[in-house]
Structures are given as C-alpha cells and as structure tokens.
A and B are shown apart, each in its own frame.
Chain A
C-alpha cells in the first residue's frame, strides 16, 4: 500500500494501429505528451487500452490487412464499446459511417456519424498545407492535408474546425477525427487534446 498522500495518476495507455502508415510518428507524439504507447497488430494487443489512434496511411491497405488478420471485428467492438479513439486521414475514413469513392467491397468501423469522400480534395498534386482555427486551441494549428478525405456530411458529430467551409476536425462522444495529419506537423496540441478526452477531462 502506498503511503504517498497524492500519488501521480498513472499515464494512460494508448494503442496505435500499426498495420501500415505513419504509426511511428503517432507513437512518438503520444509518448512526448506523457502517454504509455503500444503498437497494435493483433486482437490481443487491444487488451487494457485507455485509448486508440488510427493513423494516416493507405486506407484500402489498412482495411484489407485488418480483415485478413481478423482485427477488424475486434476493433469495431472496442470502438463501439466506447474506447476513446482518434482517427487521422485514413483513420477518419475507417471510422466513418459511410465512404464514397472508395472500394465498394470494404466495410470500415462505422463508428462515427459522418460521410466522407475518399481523396475528396484530389490526388497528390492537390495535397496542401493550411492554417486552421480549431475549437479549444488558442492559436491556429498547421494542417497538413495529403490526398485527404472530404467530409460530405457531419451527421451528429460536432465540428471542431473547418477549412473553406468544410469540416476537417470533428468529435462525437469519445471519438475524434481529423482529415489532416497532426503527427507530421510537429505540433503536439491535438494529441494533447485527445489525451484530455481519454482522461475524461475534455469538454463534454
């Protein structure tokens, strides 16, 4: 039994889906924010997580691999049971209720009430950087958009940021989704916001 009157709370354990894509950058960013981190490649890796990040990468590749190794159903259950989750770019596509311009034979996690258009901003030559006003941050956030999805319908999700009139950051319950890449920006504030959500300190 600890005699310390005011023990430090244990750091939250955050899993980052590591099938393919920029998962290392998320692991590094979350560790810099004080979280314990774990790369997720098997259903057993989901045990004991306080939060989950679905990174950027190729959404088609991730979807195929998740189905192939039997991780898709386990992830769907975990997210639907309320595991706090952050999805960036491909991660947003995987979380969406519906996806247009993707492959018709694939089903994602269907955990967030939004409809997205895959590569909605165009191909790589249309990839861009833009400064964003994000709800809850006191100055602009550097948005890096790479073959990014466009949010066509925000459904019941709360819009946290827009770019040229379209939502680019959303939140619904304990799920956050961004169409850009905070892990490439060198700015840790949105990872910090996600950890607040994990700790139950986020704005409700």
Chain B
C-alpha cells in the first residue's frame, strides 16, 4: 500500500517503485535457491536476484504433498548471505503468507503456482501491500487479471521443474500473439476481446496503446541451458527465471554463470557457442507427455 510519511513529500510503496524495481532486474537472471549456499553460488554467477523457496520445482514435483512458503529461518539466512534482491514465493491467494514475507523484508513476492494453491477462486489483493508482487500467466487475459490485482511484474509460467522449454515458449508466444491481434481492433471490437479473454478493458486498451504489457515481463518454467535463456530473450522476454535448471545440473556454478552471460549476449551466436561449451550435463528434464495432466503446475491460477 502506498503511504506518505506526512512530514515531507516522500511516498513509499507506490506502483512506480514497485514496477520500477522490476525495470532494474531486466536483462538479468533470477535463480531459485533453497539455502544460503545456493544463494551465494547464484550471486557469484551474476544473478540479478534470487528466489527463496523450500524445494526447487523438480523436487516439489517428485515429492508431492502440499508445497508452502519457506521457513522464515531459511529466508533470513538467504537475505543475510547475499547483497542482491531476495524474492520469495507464497501460495496463490494466501494473504497471510504474503504478510509474513513482507514483514521479513523480502524485495519481491512471487504468488506462485509452483506452490499448492490456497484459494481456488481469488488471488491476493496485491495493492494492499508495500512489497511488490510478480505473478505467472499463460496468456494475455491472465496477465492483465494479475496486473489488475496489483502485480508489478509478470512472468510467463512455462512448466516448472521440467527442464523442458516447450511450455515457456508456448506461453510467451501466446501473450505476444494476443498483443499483435489487438493492433487492428476498433473501440467496439476491443470490448468484445476483453470479454473473450477475461481481461479488464482499461488495461487491454493500455496494452493496445503501448504495444506491450504495462509491466516488465520475464519468462519462467523450463529454462535449462544458455541457449534456452538466449532464445527467450530473442523472443522478447525482459529476463529469465531459472529454477531447477541450475541446481539439478551437473555443475551448478558453471551452468549459472553461463546462463547469466548468455542472457546478456543473447543476440550473439558466436559468443553463445563459447558460453555453451563444456558445461557438463544439464538437468535431465521431462517430456510433457510423461507428466500426468493433473500434475501440471501451469493450470493452477485463474
């Protein structure tokens, strides 16, 4: 929530600084970490932020059960270990997990489908917080519903914990195609489009005018190699989240470093060839058809 301190012209927690923080993360890699040691590896590799969670998505997928916000002890340890921003995940709709994360002083909250949803109807009212939120989407309507609730950053969902880029590409392309479709719509047609995709009309008009989402848009869910990251950047992502792709690879420190460098030099195939060389085995990964439908994470959130 935006608050003025009364004695001067200072405003904290306004949308400008929430969305502005995401602007500072652009061109960077945000890495999932489960402890302080991982966080230091991520920082040394050049991550622009880390995401604190209890288990990386590949382990959540393997273990099953309810996945929740991390223990504050772990989050505090990660915050103490690194100087870069620390994000943390809460369950979809779980307002109190988000309040706890804000009280801990994390820099961004990810209201994430990777954890088990706590509310099957509503997401968190993110305008009510000083800390900014990032939320996942599979298409434009979902992105704009999250922004209407107060999300200051969007990430396309992909399919977390698979090491398979196909869903990340699908969701990024879906958002881009829906934005291109808006270009030719007149004032009446855009009302119909808003109804079809379940998007707030004012935000849809804003997207039509800007030609892009009104907030920074990262890609997530399945990035496992430097080439994966560079491809998503070439397709227009502002940056990438890498979850299991780092700490499920044979050599996490080298893989992390290579993905960071590839994100900066995403347009330079010769550099990418050097960056990609000799990294050891990437995470093994999963074929989509091998995952039972009810175990897909991207379908969580509405």
* A interface list, Cβ under 8 A from B: 18-25, 41, 56-58, 60-61, 64-65, 68-69, 89-90, 101-103, 118-119, 123-131, 144-147, 164, 181, 184
Confirm or deny: B61 has a beta carbon within 8 angstroms of a beta carbon on chain A.
no
- Verify if B85 is at the interface (C-beta below 8 Å from A): yes
In the complex, are the beta carbons of B131 and A125 less than 8 A apart?
yes
In the complex, which of the residues B46, B85, B106 has the most CB atoms of chain A within 10 Å of its own CB atom?
A: B46
What A residues does B85 contact at CB under 8 A? 58, 123-124, 147
* B84 and A61 contact, CB distance less than 8 A: yes
Residues of B within 8 A of A103 (CB): 43, 83
Instruction: Point out the residue from A22, A24, A129, A184 that lies within 8 Å of B11, measured CB to CB.
Output: A129
CA distance A129 to B264 in the complex (A): 29
Complex contact B264–A125 (CB within 8 A): no
Name which residue of chain B comes closest to A55, CB basis.
Answer: B24
- Total A-B residue contacts, Cβ distance less than 8 Å: 127
Chain B residues with a Cβ closer than 8 Å to the other chain, count: 41
Contacts of B17 in A (CB 8 A): 124, 127-129, 144-146
Interface membership of B10, Cβ < 8 A: yes
Instruction: Tell me, yes or no, whether B282 is within 8 Å of chain A by CB.
Output: no
| Neighbour of B28 across the interface among A20, A125, A130, A131, CB < 8 A | A20
The verdict on B280 contacting chain A, using a C-beta distance below 8 Å, is: no
In the bound complex, how far is the Cα of B26 from the Cα of A23, in angstroms? 9
Q: Which of A90, A126, A146 has the most CB of B within 10 A?
A: A146
CA separation between A124 and B16, bound complex, in Å?
12
What residues of chain B lie closer than 8 Å to A24, measured between beta carbons? 26
User: Of B14, B45, B106, B263, which is within 8 A of A129 by CB?
Assistant: B14
Given A20-B26, A125-B105, A130-B9, CB of A119 within 8 Å of CB of B83: yes
- A101 and B264 within 8 A (CB): no
Specify which of A22, A24, A119, A145 lies most central, judged by the most chain B CB atoms within 10 Å of its CB: A22
* B13 lies within 8 A of A20 (CB): no
With a cutoff of 8 Å between Cβ atoms, the chain A residues found around residue B102 in the complex are 125
